[in-house]
Structure 1
Amino acid sequence: MRDRGADELFHPGRVGQFLAEHGIGSGEVDAERIGDGQSNVTFRVTGGGRDLVLRRGPRPPLPKSTHDMVREATLLRALAPSGVPVPEILAVCEDERVLGVPFYVMPYTEGVIITDVEPEPWRDPSSRRRVSERLVDTLVGLHGVPIGSGPLSELGRPEGYLERQVRRFGALWEVNTGREVPLVAEIGSWLAARLPESQGASVVHGDYRLGNLMFAPAGLGAPRVALVLDWEMATLGDPLADLGYLMATSAEQGMPSSVMQLSPVTAQSGYLRRHELAERYATRTGLDLSGIDWYQVLALWKAAVFCEAIYSRWLAGERPGDTTFAPRLESGVLELLDQAHALILGE
């Protein structure tokens, strides 16, 4: 195998047998770990005429109600007819004897994911602006998908979504940290005391950012979104939670950086600034964004909580291959909290 670090997360013999049983090629398979995800794990699987992507959770034990690949696959199948560009699910494995956790398989798609560099044809202000516009417009399209009474309606209960988010993440901090950071409770109390009234309900992606979009290859012309990726945190709730997260984690010149700015390229000229992202979204949805700072504080606070969980797992030796992201979190978590606090103070 090309990625020797995949040995504990991917078993070629068992995966090859599973694929063959589902009529997806035959013969031996090889795997290469891909993507920048800090939670679930993604492999490109080749061999026997196949070119696939396998997505699975991290090594067990896993926190309850997290890394649910079966639920994620169900969501993607439900969204497929909506026009939102989602991956095609070819097969789902619920048998934990194969890889220790459930996983699903989709076709490999060639495309562009923008993080710290763009394709050469898009390195100009007008192309960068179109990338930002497609980023916002795709989110608007997702939030416009009717929930109805079908499979999407079973993803969650949108009523009380914001209150549950504040309560859940406040509790998660206590079980995932080994240090005292009073600002966590202070921000949590501020959020709980100022819960906004949601203006509607939609599918909420939960990790909506530029790095989770795949664009069609640059040689095909103007930027076009081919796929929206990484749906593990999706549920039903307040659509402004996605917009607040997108804004709070977008790199912008003159603004503090953070470990959650995973596409730092957006600090360059041409990309929409945070307020411009909000303006385009508001124009297309008609939603009132006067309270969007609350949603940005929520996003940064939640990010601090789940980054602390990653940091604690790394300290415990549970992320042995992570030499870049987790080591930054000792200070990175505190920086996220400081940015949330600055928003509260109006700075």
Structure 2
Amino acid sequence: MAVQGLDLPKLQAYVDEHVPGTGTLTAELLHGGRSNLTYRLTDGTSTWVLRRPPLGGLTPSAHDMKREYTVVAALHGHGVPVAKPVLQSEDPEIIGAPFAVVEFVPGRTIATRDQLAALSDTEVHDCAYALVDALAALHGVDPAAVGLGAFGKPAGYLGRQVRRWYDQWTRVSTRPLPDVEALHGWLAEHTPEESGASIVHGDFRIDNAIVGETDASDVRALVDWEMSTLGDPLSDLALHVVYSDPAFDPVLAGGAAATSPRLPGADDLVARYTKAAGREIVNWEFYLALAYFKIAVIAEGIHARFVAGQTVGEGFETVGSAVPALAAAGVRTVT
């Protein structure tokens, strides 16, 4: 049976060549994704996860399959929970786009408030703090020691982020939004020196992790690494905090676990991170503003694909409404 966005016969031939002994593959779209498309593959014995860019990618740097696979392969076995790498290809002739395949990690993803409702308050807090500990562990990895010394350029990272996401805005924007322009102007004028250098995830939130079926504090794998690089670790922390703002909720079609008031508040998360990572929090308003700016641009890119009929799956019709609210929240952060 045909699966949108996946040329299964060509994929079968490629997997047969690179993973000997594989049986006949079947594929299932797990979710259309607000960024990349994710599929479950199985031959009846083994199970894998394949990710590819969206059908209409307008923000190329946000859908880098090679980048995602490289960082997962490097981190596997080095104290950061990630899936085991299997294979990756940049050849668009195989399935129509670059893709990466990793082993399937059994567990659960807590993406909605309904899923969060299955946990007690204690379990919710234990899960949230375990995720922050995992983020601190990631930031504690020496990039050179795991072969990622050339994975990015930490110096000047913040300035490049401001320029890059504004460039993305000019590519994907479907309407003029003065708050986006104002936020960009403030960020450009107030860019500080980096607080440090580490591997950054770039999209860290509760639903980008797989946790245990019965123990939500058992973080088994961090996923969605396509925006990872070497950069400022506080940008990761700020993004994680900003994802808790209800303004983000429409991006995930409402009812997102990330925005639940049951999760620990921003101050508690920052305190937990500070203790786990041993890092000082400086220029915090800049990092928060940058996080709002980045999420607003990403949301507009998703909205642009939806308007162009290039999304796969449901729940995209609400995303556009989040962009003005996120930009406004970012402006409020610095005024």
TM-score, normalised via structure 2 length? 0.91
**Structure 1 residue corresponding to 2:250, chosen from 242, 246, 259:** 259
Secondary structure at 2:168's aligned position in 1?
A: helix
CA distance in 1, matches of 2:232, 2:154: 7
Cα distance, 1:11–1:25 mapped onto 2, change above 3 Å: farther
Measured after TM superposition, the shift of residue 284 of structure 1 is: 2.2
Q: Is the 8 A contact 2:75 2:146 kept in 1?
A: no
Distance 1:133 1:90 in 2: 30
* 2:297 matches 1:305: yes
**Residues 215 and 70 from structure 1, CA distance in 2 versus in 1: closer, same or farther, beyond 3 angstroms?**
same
2:236 pairs with one of 237, 242, 247: 242
Distance 2:163 2:151 in 1: 19
Distance 1:174 1:107 in 2: 37
Deviations 1:236-278 (A, max 9, x none): 0100000000001115xxx656435777335656531111101
- Specify whether residues 308 and 256 from structure 1 end up closer, same or farther in structure 2 by C-alpha distance, changes over 3 A only: closer
Unaligned regions of 5+ residues in structure 2, if any? none
* Secondary structure of the structure 2 residue equivalent to 1:298: helix
Shift of 1:204: 0.7
For 2:9 and 2:167, the matched residues in 1 are separated by 40
| Counterpart for residue 194 of structure 1 | 190
- Is the partner of 1:110 in helix, strand or coil? coil
Q: Which one of 315, 327, 330 corresponds to residue 324 of structure 1?
A: 315
Contact 1:11 1:99 in 2 (8 A): yes
1:344 aligned onto 2:334 = yes
Per-residue Cα deviation, 1:34-54 (whole angstroms, up to 9, x for no partner) = 146311111001235331111
Match of 1:276 in 2: 268
Q: 3-state SS of the aligned residue for 2:28?
A: strand
% identical equivalent positions: 34
Could you say which structure has the greater relative contact order, defined with CA pairs below 8 angstroms and 6 or more residues apart?
A: 2
Mapped to 2, the partners of 1:222 and 1:248 lie a distance apart of 22
CA–CA distance in 2 between the matches of 1:60 and 1:267?
28
Within-5 A mapping of 1:112-191: 112-116=108-112, 117-118=114-115, 123-148=119-144, 151-191=147-187
Secondary structure in 2 matching 1:54:
strand
Contact kept, 8 Å, 2:30 with 2:39, in 1: the verdict is yes
Change (3 A) 1:256 1:92: closer
2:29 to 25, 29, 33: 33
Give the superposition deviation at 1:324. 1.5
Match of 2:225 in 1: 231
2:251–2:299 CA contact under 8 A, matched in 1 = no
- Please name the residue that 1:11 is paired with: 7
C-alpha displacement at 1:156, in angstroms?
0.7
Q: Deviations over 1:198-248 (max 9, x none)?
A: 221000100000000100211xx4620000000000000100000000001
Gapped runs of 5+ residues in structure 1? Answer: none
- Give the CA RMSD over aligned residues: 2.3
The Cα offsets for residues 137-159 of structure 1, whole Å up to 9 and x where unpaired, read as 00000000012266211211000
8 Å CA contact 2:250, 2:319 repeated in 1: yes
| Partner deviation per Cα, 1:293-332 (whole Å, 9 max, x = no partner) | 221111111111121122122222222x44422x213321
Q: Which aligned pairs between 1:58-69 and structure 2 lie closer than 5 A?
A: 58-59=54-55, 63-69=59-65
SS of residue paired to 1:214: strand
